[in-house]
Amino acid sequence: MTDTKSPTRAKATAKQSGESAKLLREFYEQMVLIREFELRAGEMYAKARIGGYCHLNLGEEATVVGLTAALKPTDYLYTTYRDHGYALARGMEPGAVMAELFGKSTGVVGGRGGSMHMFDLAKRMMGGYGIVGGQIPPATGAAFAIQYRSKAGKDSEAVMCLLGDGTTNIGAFHESLNLAGLWDLPIVYVIMNNRLGMGTTVENASAEPDLYKRGSAYRIEGRRIDGDDPIAVRDAALEALEKARVKRRPSIIEAMSYRLKGHSVVDPARYRSKEDVELAQANDPVPAFRNRLLKAKALTEKDVDAIHMKVDEIVDAAVSFAETSPDPSPSELFERIYATPVANMPHSFPGDPVAVSA
């Protein structure tokens, strides 16, 4: 097992000198897109344009970009309910993602899913899950299907399953890891450790706060990485996915980051100390990555301005698209309830006359 409790930015910067400036700019642009999209989503929620629950990726942009950069188009991604950034990074259209938040018919699942249930089978974005840990058994099952139907190799499919730090304490996590370790499943479990399970610190909720060690009971290797460095995240994910494809062995990545806001957009986070908030802001991955790229001359100030202008236009267009999109028709309410027709499935509204067969 590998533990990097305090990954240094200096080492990361040195390593990044070997990356192409084009790739680094792309990573930064993706991080800015996720940041601005999420900020606007929070604004739209405050204006009551978005309803229900809404959890933002603010502070996790580097991890989101690094993880998705390591995935192949044929890999499956299962996420938590904090899923907007992953939908964008996986290539889903910003307008359709925003429209889904608005509950519009042009959303990625027709307005049926909302914030917590982004899904696109073509992108193999297998959805956010509203139930804590609800994604872990299906993701493990998908890995079992891959193991069952195909051979190991560099071109094999793999599964990445995201979960929060608090999720490591539920039964489905341990049951799934036991089967993954027992059956040699091609899956990577990524623990997003933002140091707070809703309002409780990891140290106050977990007898073993080094969460990457949780897999040791099932002989699953794990490592802790700097979640604020997209290159370090990508490299760790590539290594873990390679192990899943070729060796058919599961693994754990614990990505350390800071949550910049409350658990959801309605959480004022009064449980956080002033020092903790200041520390999170000081470790904000977006300006930190920008400054590192400027220092390495992979970006210029002009490049930064152009990226932000481009992203602002994309997000403005996404909001406009969502605002002007039609609401779902009530006549479609009972469509797509089941994958195939079943007996006695609902088909009418309360008060409608009961159909009598001849």
pLDDT digits (tens, 9 = 90+) for 278-324: 999 999 999 999 999 999 999 999 999 999 999 999 999 999 999 99
Residue 314 φ/ψ, nearest 5 degrees? -65, -45
Q: For the segment 234-291, what is each residue's pLDDT rounded down to a tens digit? A: 999 999 999 999 999 999 999 999 999 999 999 999 999 999 999 999 999 999 999 9
Residue 338 lies in a domain: no
Classify residue 321: in a domain, yes or no.
yes
Is 240 a domain residue? Answer: yes
Residue 200 lies inside a defined structural domain of this protein: yes
Reported as a single tens digit per residue, the pLDDT across 164-192 is: 999 999 999 999 999 999 999 999 999 99
CATH number at residue 212: 3.40.50.970
| pLDDT, average across residues 27-36 | 98
Residue 154 lies in a domain: yes
The whole model's pTM is what? Answer: 0.91
**One-character DSSP codes across 91-149:** T--HHHHHHHHHT-TTSTTTTSSGGG---BTTTTEEEE-SSTTTTHHHHHHHHHHHHHH
In a domain, 351, yes or no: no
Any domain includes 110:
yes
Check whether 18 has a pLDDT greater than 60.
Answer: yes
- Does any domain span residue 357? no
User: How confident is the model over 193-243, as pLDDT tens digits?
Assistant: 999 988 999 999 999 999 999 999 999 999 999 999 999 999 999 999 999
**What pLDDT score was predicted for residue 160?**
98
The residue segments making up the domain with residue 298 are 9-332
pLDDT band at 14; cut points 50, 70, 90 = very low
User: Can you give the pLDDT at residue 358?
Assistant: 53
Q: Give the largest Cα separation in the chain, rounded.
A: 79
Say yes or no to pLDDT of 10 above 90. Answer: no
What pLDDT sits at residue 224?
98
**Percent of the chain topping pLDDT 70:** 94
Domain total in the chain: 1
Buried residues in 328-352 as b, exposed as e (16+ CB within 10 A): beeeeeeeeeeeeeeeeeeeeeeee
Q: 112 in helix, strand or coil?
A: coil
Cβ-based burial of 172 (10 A; exposed 0-12, middle 13-18, buried ≥19)? middle
Q: Residue 283: CB partners within 8 Å, gap ≥ 6?
A: 228, 257, 258
pLDDT(117) > 50: yes
